[in-house]
Amino acid sequence: MRVALLQYPIVWADPQANIGLLDERLRAIAGQVDLAVVPEMFSTGFCTDRPGLAEPWGGPTCLALQHMADTYNLAIAGSLMASENGKLYNRGFLFAPGVPPQYCDKHHLYASGGEAEFFTPGNERKIFEFRGVKIRMAVCYDLRFPVWLRQDKNHLYDLLICVACWPTIRIQYWDALLAARAAENHCYGIGVNMVGTDGLQLDYNGHSAAYDTWLKDLAGFEDYEEATRIVDLSFEKLRHFREVLPQWKEADEYEVKGEN
């Protein structure tokens, strides 16, 4: 599977502009990749104080994402602000050509950033499927909580994707945690962060990465680099690695309270 990591600035609180910019980036890689990954809340930025920017699931932003997936014949993973039944969610998504979208809502809300007062947490540990690959989706702060993302016999996956608006001041944790989650779960780990400055004047230096099972970063972004990187993932190699060292079978049993 060929995956594109799209690291770029987000236009603050402007869905139309961000959808247009994403369309340009996807058009440039059409026919080259199976899956494109974009930053957290790609259409608005991390606007935790603007409920009016949230859209119903299936609204204009969702329609635009599905149209791009169908037009360019690739899947798109990221997150957006969704409204449903009077509640707001930071919703991770996977739009793929010709099939209904898949989604899961961010479980761990970043209270220090006002997110817990704004969004409702999701309580489902879903596994997405795309072209034979099982994908686990995490949204930013979820990355800090290993139990929520842990492999087990009911949640076995091949690829962990984490999309984020993770500021420069705490980027050392992003670097360490993304690699750790890939290592402990015997999977590929892809993390995509934004770059630039947002409407709250927070600074973002990126550090998007794609780790294989040997913790080699296949993407190689530099600080503040606005770019698209394409990586090749071999799930045949991953399956072989798991056969040689099947550590997930030996993991401690546990229960996640509050999970649906």
Residue of 55, 62, 104, 106 marked catalytic: 106
Is 126 annotated in the active site? no
Q: At what angle do helices 15-29 and 60-72 cross, to 10 degrees?
A: 10
Is 62 annotated in the active site? no
Instruction: Please report, in angstroms and rounded to a whole number, the separation of the first and last CA atoms in the chain.
Output: 31
Residue of 40, 55, 115, 162 marked catalytic: 40
Residue of 62, 140, 165, 187 marked catalytic: 140
Is 40 annotated in the active site? yes
Give me the active site residues, please.
Answer: 40, 106, 140
